[in-house]
Structures are given as structure tokens and as C-alpha cells.
């Protein structure tokens, strides 16, 4: 199997039809799971230093079509992190108060502080995805938001935040199978919404919206990663590896110890 890009070059036009959702880089499920286990242990170590140093932060953006695996990614990739240094933000339909501000107002309030790993389960990109496809705002509004998003993410990056954006790429057949699994299993009925079906009917429109969002907002300081996500085990492996690589690239170190610790005697 030929090599497939996970992190496409910045500022290039993206066509999702050129990315294979079943791609697995020649790995077996067994090997991927074994490597993921080691990577998760390393992630736990690195998060401890990130939290202790409290100088940098990591923001992870997850976007996908319905049943794309955002919740599963969070469950498996971050199972061992310290919840004290970990935050998750879910962005649903904006409230009246949020609508009274600019579209990034509610987003900026949820970015992780220094020392933290933050997850956006959906994100500010909904304002150039669902807002575009469902015509919630005119084109003259949403097409300007790409520049706003780039400026916002550049500000975060310049403030010491590493940004990783993951598009979980599944195909339409895989989505159908996952929807059917939810219907067949009563314990998963809560995951299924009849409202997901009209969104599925607009699949091609969403693909074009995602292609533009990734193309216009794939920058050196906030890169997009197109994750082959039909195979959950490969999805978990490549996302965990990408996060570990990003943390290892940070100048992380434990803060210096308080002076005089060598003279401390713990009283009986």
C-alpha cells in the first residue's frame, strides 16, 4: 500500500476523495494496539511534566461527521491522563447570549490554560461547516471566517499553545454501519438521533465544506491532520502518536525545586 499523507502540506487545496478512510499504513491491529499502549504510557508521563511546568498548553480539535469517532477517540486516547490537567469542551448550538457576541467569543473562553491539555469535541469550525451547509448565515459572512479563525489560532500559538486539529475521515458506508449498530443495540440508542439522517443526506455538501475548512485553515502553527478513521484501532494509534510527538517537541521540563529541600527533615 502506498504511503498516505496524514498531515497535508499547509495552504494546499485538499480533496478528501484522495484520502483513503481504510488506510492503515501496512500495520496490523495487534501491532498498532501494542504500540498504542506504549504511547499512552508516554503520553501520561509527558502530561505530568506539562502540568508541573505550567508554561505551555496543548489544544486538540476533533471534527468529524456523525459517528466519526470523536467520543471514542477521547475515551481511548486520553484514558490515562490526569483529569486535573485535562479539559473537554463540547460546542453545540450557540445560546442566545453566545449569539449576541462574535462567533469566536464562546470558543476563546474554553481554550486550555497553561499546563493543560484541552479537547474541543467539535469547535469553532462548526461556524464554517454547519453554518454554511444549513445556510444559517450568508456566504458573505461565513467565507470571511476562515481568516478570523487563522488569526485566532495564530494568537493562541504565539501565546505558547500547541494546536493539533484532527479530521476523523470515515466513508459513507462506514457511517451507515455505525448508525445501524446503534439502532441494533438498545444500550446505544441514546447515541442515535433521527436528526442525524438529514445531515447524512447532505454528505457531499459537508465534504466540500470540510475540504474548504481544511484547505484554508491548514497552517504551520495550527495544522490539520486527516485521520483514516474507518479502523478505530489505527485511528487511536495515529492520533496518540501525533500527540506524543507534539509534546516531545515542546521544551518540557520539571520546574526547579524549591531551595533548601536538601535540608528539610520531616518531623515525626
Over the stretch 150-196, which tens digit does the pLDDT of each residue have? 999 999 999 999 999 999 999 999 999 999 999 999 999 999 999 89
What confidence tens digit (pLDDT) does each residue in 126-155 have? 999 999 999 999 999 999 999 999 999 999
Residues with Cβ within 8 Å of 98's Cβ and at least 6 positions away in sequence, in order, are 105, 106
Largest CA distance in the chain: 71
pLDDT band at 1 (very low <50, low <70, confident <90, very high): very low
Q: What is the distance between the terminal CA atoms of the chain, rounded to a whole angstrom?
A: 65
For domain 16-250, give the fold. Answer: Rossmann fold (3.40.50)
Residue 136 neighbours by CB under 8 Å, 6+ apart: 130
Give 27's contacts (C-beta < 8 A, 6+ positions apart). Answer: 234, 237
Would you say residue 235 has pLDDT above 70? yes
* pLDDT at residue 263 in the model: 87
Q: So what's the pLDDT on residue 2? A: 43
Identify the pLDDT of residue 3: 65
pTM above 0.75, yes or no: yes
**Helices 29-53 & 232-248 angle (0-180, nearest 10):** 30
- Domain ranges in the chain are 16-250
Query: Cβ neighbours of residue 214 under 8 Å, at least 6 residues apart?
Result: 8, 14, 167, 224, 226
Cα distance between residue 72 and residue 132, in whole Å: 26
Report the DSSP beta bridge partners of residue 180: none
Amino acid at each position: 500500500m502506498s504511503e498516505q499523507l496524514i498531515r497535508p502540506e499547509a495552504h494546499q487545496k485538499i480533496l478528501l476523495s484522495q484520502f483513503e478512510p481504510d488506510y492503515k499504513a501496512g500495520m496490523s491491529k495487534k501491532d498498532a494496539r501494542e504500540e498504542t499502549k506504549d504511547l499512552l504510557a508516554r503520553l501520561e508521563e509527558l502530561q505530568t511534566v506539562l502540568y508541573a511546568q505550567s508554561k505551555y498548553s496543548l489544544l486538540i480539535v476533533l471534527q468529524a461527521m456523525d459517528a466519526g469517532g470523536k467520543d471514542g477517540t477521547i475515551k481511548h486516547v486520553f484514558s490515562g491522563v490526569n483529569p486535573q490537567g485535562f479539559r473537554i469542551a463540547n460546542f453545540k448550538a450557540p445560546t442566545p447570549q453566545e449569539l449576541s457576541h462574535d462567533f469566536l467569543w464562546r470558543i476563546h473562553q474554553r481554550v486550555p490554560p497553561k499546563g493543560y491539555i484541552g479537547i474541543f469535541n467539535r469547535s469553532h469550525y462548526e461556524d464554517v461547516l454547519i453554518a454554511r451547509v444549513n445556510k444559517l448565515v450568508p456566504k458573505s459572512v461565513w467565507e470571511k471566517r476562515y481568516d478570523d479563525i487563522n488569526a485566532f489560532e495564530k494568537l493562541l500559538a504565539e501565546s505558547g499553545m500547541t494546536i493539533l486539529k484532527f479530521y476523523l475521515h470515515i466513508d459513507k458506508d462506514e457511517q451507515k454501519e455505525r448508525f445501524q449498530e446503534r439502532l441494533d443495540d438498545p444500550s446505544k440508542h441514546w447515541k442515535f438521533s433521527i436528526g442525524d439522517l438529514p445531515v447524512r443526506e447532505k454528505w457531499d455538501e459537508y465534504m466540500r465544506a470540510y475540504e474548504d475548512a481544511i484547505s484554508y485553515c491548514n497552517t504551520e502553527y495550527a495544522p490539520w491532520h486527516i485521520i483514516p478513521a474507518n479502523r478505530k484501532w489505527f485511528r487511536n494509534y495515529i492520533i496518540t502518536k501525533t500527540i506524543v510527538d507534539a509534546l516531545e517537541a515542546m521544551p518540557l521540563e520539571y520546574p526547579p525545586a524549591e531551595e533548601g529541600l536538601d535540608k528539610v527533615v520531616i518531623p515525626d
